[in-house]
A and B are shown apart, each in its own frame.
Chain A
Amino acid sequence: MSDSATAPKRRLPQINPVWVLLTVLVVAIIFMNPRFIEPTGYMNFLKRAAPLAILAAGQVYVITSGGFDLSVGSLITLVVVGSSMLTNNDPTATYWVIPLMLAMGLGVGAVNGLVVCFLRVPSLIATLGMMITLNGLAFLWSGGAPRGYLPDTFRFFGRELIRDVPLVRFIPVSVIVLVVVVGLLAWLMHRTNLGRQVHAIGDNPVAARLAGVAVNRVRITAFMLSGLSAAIAGILLGGFAGVSTDVGSGYELQAITAAVLGGAQLLGGRGSVPAALGGALALTAIFTLLNFLGLPQPVRQVVQGLILIAAVAFAMHRRRQTGT
């Protein structure tokens, strides 16, 4: 339309249903437990959600580019186990171990991407293989049980609080990490060429390639960001909870669930980092709520399953209604 330059029309911002869901859940939690509105309540909640939220923000890149990353859970385990092996009780080791772990996350992501791009193995299988391999590596490296404690310097990010903050009294360091990482990933996804091209290759890789997009480079970058986010999540989880051998198991499916709750389209083309954050918070809120309700683990599983199917069915329904 020729007048669009003079009066650029913006689409009415459609509210992503995940925010509605999250609001309802938070209200329900507050109803169940009024102390949730105190800093201890919601800060603990955010602290708990931080690793999943970061993971989901990374996963969105891969999903939007048209793939899956199932390897993030075992990558978390490998990061925690590996850090404990490398720091070996030495507080000063943190300063090189953390960069090394971030590099390892990037490296694992790069391998995933290379396998998908050049060996042409579908990402579902490629990252499944990576998941099994990394789990084995974590065990192999540690001989079955991690050998070192994580020093407090390492655990700072996942465990410590910054106290005497005005208004909220205290802020967990992990919440700051969450804000910074998700903010960066959101900026990359929605304000840079990378983000637009991730969308493009997930939408139509052939068209993107013929338009000059370096499809492989973008895809590998998406996997690397997912790997990096898993490494960060691993550092937070290790910091929050200390060493154990199966820290990350199950996180890959939770991350995909969170991204899908946030409206990311499986097989690519659509995805939003803030909405994935919303999805992660909503998922954590569901768990918290079920906990408050005193519902046992099995019920949580059922609820998670129902919500997952309902969210996607609802999205498909809406898409068909809008005729697209």
Chain B
Amino acid sequence: MKHILMAAGALAFSLTPLYAQNFDDPQEFAKQRDQLQAEPMGPEGQPWLQYIGGDMVDTAALGLEAPATVCFSNAGVNNPWRVVGYTNMVEELKNHASIADFIHVDAEGSDDKQIADIDDLLAGGDCDVMIVSPNTTAALTPAVERACEAMPVIVFDRGVNTDCPVSFIHPVGGYGFGIQGAEFITSKLDEGANVLMLRILPGVDVLETRYSAGRRILEEAGMNIVGAEFTDGDNAKTKSIVEDYLMRGSIDAVWMDAGATAVAAIEAFEDSGYDIPVFVGEDQQDFLRKWQDEGLTAIAPTYPTYQWRTAVIAAARVIEGEPLPGPEWVLPQPAIVQENLDDYVNPAMPPLHYAMCGCEEMADYPQAWGGN
């Protein structure tokens, strides 16, 4: 046992300096900060069709004919965000006659399986266009490259390390998310206020960038960060952690890198008999409702699920030979604030529904999303 620990320790020390990956990139930070302010192009009120930055790619040359088959290699539907997104996607398909067939394969959160899935689709499916939502960036790059050789590829959510896809669709990004929440806290509190940062998991790129951006802004504003804890996205653990912090001292604000456990964190304050401080959550219905019911001082940055619609729209445009924003299609990433909170709260929707879905006008809303 001792040997193992020593070996692991030695290994670790050799690793740490090399592989503290850079999730704190000032350039990217500044870029996303600008993009949050930028006026998006495209139809107003339909953010899933809007884009920031004006580059377009022509797809007529790809020579596809409608109707065509679209294949979708999905990293997974293993969390509510992806469930809402996938529902958006399925509903959006109904708007596109040019997509005759839609084949969905689900990798259940495994890189290895997703690579195999893409190979399967290439070997046997009659795919004309492929949409990929990669499980992780680096691992899926070779598979996506192979897919690119065979057909046009649309990538969304996480990217890949290649520019071969027709377009990579994503909202502004993790820095933007972190910035919105942290700036809200600094605008509400004075220097030296106690801020607790709650994080889901280490190592996930989109979450790490949220954290680094949030931390940078809080530190620059002179906030006292009392702790940064991982919750594993587990409500019970979140509640326990917050309770433990409350036993040790007061908290003026809670910043979270994802909103899944926001309500549990709020309940920790309630159950321990404390006032609810300034809160950064996300656009999940349970948080929005709590916010509205309790009159919180809060903000809900979003990582909009409407990008799943956009992926289908992009595929349809490829088939129809229409131009689309690319090679990057940057979608706007609005935050829900006090002023527009009422627009997003909908008691008919399930607690884990992501309100920034851009789906309210779709045909089967709200039933398809589990609402009444």
Contact = CB atoms under 8 A, between A and B. Distances in A.
A195 interface: no
A40 interface: yes
Given A159-B271, A247-B235, A306 B83 contact: no
Interface string A287-306: 01001100011000010001
A143 B236 contact: no
Nearest to B84: A145
B142 interface: no
B230 A242 contact: no
Contact of B80 (A145, A148, A242): A145
Contact of A48 (B83, B232, B240, B263): B240
A156 interface: no
Contact of B233 (A35, A41, A159, A246): A246
B244 interface: yes
Contacts of B240: 44, 48
A53 to B, nearest CB: 14
B234 A159 contact: no
B233 A144 contact: no
Interface residues of A, number: 35
A19 interface: no
A144 B77 contact: yes
A149 B350 CA distance: 7
Contacts of B80: 144-145, 245
B243 A44 contact: yes
A244 B233 contact: yes
B244 A291 contact: yes
A244 B350 contact: no
Contacts of A296: 230
A142 B77 CA distance: 12
B83 A244 contact: no
A92 interface: no
B16 to A, nearest CB: 13
Interface of A is mostly: helix
Contacts of B119: none
Interface residues of B, number: 37
A146 B244 contact: no
A51 B267 CA distance: 18
Interface string A135-177: 0000000111111110000000001010000000000000000
A245 B272 CA distance: 25
A161 B271 contact: yes
Interface string B204-245: 000000000000000000000000001011111011110110
A247 B351 contact: no
Interface string A22-36: 000000000001010
Nearest to B236: A241
A146 B352 CA distance: 7
B79 interface: yes
Given A241-B235, A244-B261, A148 B351 contact: yes
A144 B247 contact: no
A228 to B, nearest CB: 20
B352 A242 contact: no
A243 B247 contact: no
B353 interface: yes
Interface string B148-176: 00000000000000000000000000000
A48 B242 CA distance: 13
B236 A240 contact: yes
Nearest to B230: A297
A163 to B, nearest CB: 10
Interface string B67-81: 000000000011110
B286 A242 contact: yes
Contacts of A41: 247
A51 B350 CA distance: 26
A110 interface: no
Q: Across the A-B interface, give the 4 residue pairs with the lowest CB-CB distance, nearest first.
A: A241-B235, A144-B83, A145-B80, A241-B236
29 contacts: A33-B248, A40-B272, A41-B247, A48-B236, A51-B236, A144-B77, A144-B79, A144-B80, A145-B83, A145-B350, A146-B350, A146-B351, A146-B352, A147-B350, A149-B286, A149-B351, A161-B271, A241-B238, A241-B239, A241-B267, A242-B235, A242-B263, A243-B351, A244-B235, A245-B352, A246-B234, A288-B244, A291-B244, A309-B1
